Structure 1
Amino acid sequence: MTSAHSPLIFITGASSGIGQALAARYARAGYRLALVARRTAEIRAWADAQGLDERRCGVFGADVADVDSIVAAGQACMAQMGLPDVVVANAGISIGMDTGVREDIDVLARTLAVNNTGLAATFHPFVDAMRQRGSGRLVAVASVAAIRGLPGHGAYCASKAAVVAYAESLRGELRGSGVKVVTLVPGYIDTPLTRRNRYAMPFLMKVDDFADRAHAAIEAGAAWRVIPWQMGWVARLLRIMPIALFDRLLAGRPRKHRQSEA
Structure 2
Amino acid sequence: MFVLKDLLKAERIELDRTVTDWREGIRAAGVLLEKTNSIDSAYTDAMIASVEEKGPYIVVAPGFAFAHARPSRAVRETAMSWVRLASPVSFGHSKNDPVNLIVALAAKDATAHTQAMAALAKALGKYRKDLDEAQSPEEIQAILEKAAAPAKQKAPAVAPAVTPTDAPAASVQSKTHDKILTVCGNGLGTSLFLKNTLEQVFDTWGWGPYMTVEATDTISAKGKAKEADLIMTSGEIARTLGDVGIPVHVINDFTSTDEIDAALRERYDI
Q: TM-score, normalised by structure 2?
A: 0.28
Q: Which has the higher helix share?
A: 1
